[in-house]
A and B are shown apart, each in its own frame.
Chain A
Amino acid sequence: MSIILLIILVVVLVVLVIFAIVTYNGLVRKRNDTEEAYRQIDVQLKRRYDLIPNLLEGVKKYFRQEQEVLTQVTQARSRAMQPQSPGQQAQSEAQLSGAIGSLFAVAENYPDLKSDRVMLDFQEELSSTENKISFARQHYNDSVGDYNTKVQSFPAVIFSRMMGFTEREYFEAAGPERESVTVSYD
């Protein structure tokens, strides 16, 4: 009788340990996914810093009367590149996006530019750069959602806190980004 009890106990223990290992590995993988996704945002932001001078160089002559906008973009870029707190960082990134937005708005004022090859390429590259940043953020939020769900779901939740897995924060674009866009269009 006691032997059977012991066997049952051992089996239950083994199952629990296996379950804990599988859960742990799953959580680690998902947490690494979110970190990878977060780094991807930085990669894309850095890509934008590198790209802007080249792109502006190509279209400088089209914007001779619009020096102000060009300077705005250049300045926003150097501000964003400076080391700063994450909150400020988000703000200056948003300002850079805003400045790029006003550059597009200015380009709209020149109908003859709209069909210009160089200008079209420039717009495609710039808007794709912006897209890549927002898709990187979207992917980050997707993987955070995935990870958080896993951390909070019932069987895993028993172990996850003990093992030091905590929810990650979503990237929120709404606040500063919207503000800065309205500011730059004024």
Chain B
Amino acid sequence: MNLQVSYNWLKEYVKIDESVQDFVKEFSLRSQTIDRIHDQKPKFKKVVTAKILEINPHPNADRLRLATVDAGNGQQTVVCGASNIEVGQIVPLALEGGEVIDDQGNTFTIKKAKIRDFESSGMLCSQRELGLGVDHTGIMILPPDTKIGQDLALALGLEDDYLLDIEITSNRSDAMSVVGLARDAAAVLDKKSKITLPQPDLKSVEELPLGVEIKESTLCPRYQAVVMTDVKVGPSPLWMQLRLFQSGMRPINNLVDITNYLILEYGRPMHVFDYDKINGHKIIVRLAKRGEKILALDGKTYELQPHQLLIADEKEPLAIGGVMGGELSAATTETKTIVFECAAFDPVMIRKTARELNLHSDSSDLFEKNLHPETTFVGILRAIELTQQLAGGKVASPIIDIYAKGYKPNRIKFDIASVKRYLGVEVPEVKIKKILEALGFEISGSKVMEVTAPYWRANDVNGEHDLIEEIARTYGYHNLPTRLPSGEIPLEARDHSFDWEDQIKNLLVGLGFNEVYNYSMISAQLLEKISFKPEQCLKIDNPLNEDLVYLRPTLISHLLWDISNNLKNFSTQQIFELSNIYLPTKAKELPEEKQRLTLAMVGDDEIFLAAKGLAELMLKKLGINDYQLMLTDSQCPIWQKGLGLDIKVGKQLIGQVGIINEAITNRFDIDKPVGVVDFDFNSVVQLASTEVSYQDLPEFPAVERDLSLVLDSHVSWGEIKEVLVGIDELVVDSEFISQYQNEEVLGKHKKNYVFRIVFRSNKRTLKSQEVDEIMKKVITRLADNFAAILR
């Protein structure tokens, strides 16, 4: 949670002598992080306070009005577009040559100008135009007692202030206020605290009856209330308004402003009811009835559920407990007698209610952070004090306090030896005691102490480790030594799959492949495009949008999607991804997560052979040599018929390679064949090996003979190769060189294959005649088997 507070306000509660920069640095290192310092020196120039004397309609424009104002030196007329101004109000007037801020945050200079034929000699300003807040719905209205004709910066006391933007961690609800921050600053920076308990006059002039009944003491462990009468509702003084402005709140009237001010000052949400609107003068804290409705202060009606907490009277709901007050029981300008509520609520209930109603207020935000019941006391005292000062109210009841369980402080057994264990340095006992006591802890004993947490830390300090943190941060983490851990290094074999990942990725990059990363989540549409059934995939219960609903069981679909998206810029593409796929196992079990390495390529003239060659190169680099490639099941809808191969080692299927079925590529608007290699990377890594068996280099030269044959087009290279293997022990290899097809030259259903046969003996240099003999045999055999004709 971020809080914006005035530095000058903070200094009212803790004595700070150093510069704001030094304070911010030290405080951030030991307490809460101050993200930014905003200099409050006004961004505006030549803006003065002025009183509105007269308002007339603009003769030429319905939306504009002519305001005659007095800025202390005679009258002048300005054209104004805002609707919230009234005669008698004091407003900021930017004079000619003055500077204010536009909606982009840039300064602009006020010039005398004619607006629809009427000259305007200045401008009335909203908060945003002055850089004092975000409100720009109307002109900023200053309190009626503001002196007119004075410089606005002076009137607001802004000259030497800074706004601190502080990020307060969720466990420190005690520090989510000016007083809370000042208390922590005083303790961790060893400074003098100026915090005192509020001193209201608690003598009641008359006793007005008020009943309070708590039906849900778990959800509302403490409820304090007080009646005050003779209050005069009106605007709050400028200093209070300004502090609300600075922290992003909008002044309303003195009573509402007091409750908002308390949120900032003590981090204590309060509520104020109009006493006369509480039926039977009785407050009941109870669960809502099903469907019970309340019109809240935001003007909306909320329908409540039976697990949500209501503050009600004998007849109807008054407020949604801890979240927002009701419109009907709110204090208005006519209100004379009020009830202040200062209560504690169950944080989980508040959080659920705020979420369920989608209604988040400053109050619910604080209650969610778990405000301790002990903190209500100071809140109600301060509320009474401020009401007496600013609204002339008088106490008209005792402070009612329903506190079912009472308070038992946390006592923690603390062996100070553990300080060294965590900090790595010895901190003297005297220093430990000093630190803890400054933070409000009470200590008894020595070496092994009994430590009692102050009530404001009762929620977040529960054990020894919490005390160690307090000591460590005050001591200063930056003052602790910095050294590499000295313990032993775990004796474990590396997981080599990471190395294989690196090797394969680097190989592919070297070959010109681009690595992609797609989301693990996929849409039903993309699954269906590659003939996967979404209902067989793992589904997310609360997806962000329909593109991210299922956990993908294949990478192919995303790769086709990527190729399709890139086609307009790249006609040739080679991409790959190495990521997990997710295969549902049994219902209510974790899915099987398998690493998949998938490559896709488009734009090569011989895309099938390119993909196949790539798969084989990768297998070779992985040290997998005993694999077979065989036609995949023709029922598999992924591959173009007859152009999909299974990659197998023994009976184990470790991948596939081929051309994606044209029907699928069409669905992705890809108009060219796409070659894909799809490896089960877990299996591949298991089979991979870095072992190499060295083979002696040949001692005698090889003889090579090329052969060009015309064949029937159905004869495959595989069949020819099979014939060549073992035809003679001197034939050690055969290499395919090229193919040629031309009906006019070769005849129908014919093709021409050119290949090379390599002969070698490891005992002697071969003679030309013996090779010729074998060649004759080869040609005869090929002619017999395939009707091959020499070309």
Q: Do A and B bind each other?
A: no
Interface residues, chain A, CB within 8 Å of chain B? none
